[in-house]
Copies of this chain bind each other. A is one copy, B any other.
Amino acid sequence: MYELFFKKMAEKITLTSAQQDIIKQYLIPKKIRKNQYLLQEGDVAKHAAFVEKGALRAYSVDDRGTEHIIQFAFEGWTISDLYSFLTGEAATYNVDALEDSELVLISKAAQDEILKQIPEYEVYTRLQITGAYLAMQKRLTSILSLSLEERYINLTKLYPNLIQRVPQRMIASYMGLTPETLSRVRRKIKDK
């Protein structure tokens, strides 16, 4: 249990097995079925979720009922409404499972406790959020400066997983497009 979780950590910091045992005390394993909610808008995000297996998405719903996908999370990724998780305020978006998934939950209290006891973990969280920041900046700059075709091609290269495991209409939502437009973009690329 927690193999991938510690494997990911080992890529950035070194922990003794005693330290790992301390951390394990605070982790909560959880299985979640496809289409099941992990978090709903209005709830308070009590946990961050590390994905051991499966796939999740975070999304909001606007006035017109349109879904906007904020983030996907596959194996090795962490997902939560970070703002709600940190502040304890109501979540601004929903998180649900795209496939049957296995998660590792970390509560805010657990995270704080681990941060206190294990200085290395502070480094890990800093590096992790830095990576997430850079990835999101890349996503944002690609929206601002690339054509739809370029954006889609980049996405397929960056996350081959995404294309195979996620329905097109969700990819469209992630890109800020209608499914029809994405379908036409794909056609254009194919025709070349």
Contact = CB atoms under 8 A, between A and B. Distances in A.
A176 B129 contact: no
Interface string A47-87: 00000000000001010001010100000000000110010
Contacts of A134: 82-83
Interface of A is mostly: helix
Interface in A111-165: 119, 122-123, 125-126, 129-130, 132-134, 136-137, 139-141, 143-145
A140 B133 contact: no
Contacts of A66: 145
A136 B138 CA distance: 11
A60 B176 contact: no
Contacts of A144: 68, 70, 176
Interface of A: 60, 62, 66, 68, 70, 82-83, 86, 119, 122-123, 125-126, 129-130, 132-134, 136-137, 139-141, 143-145, 176
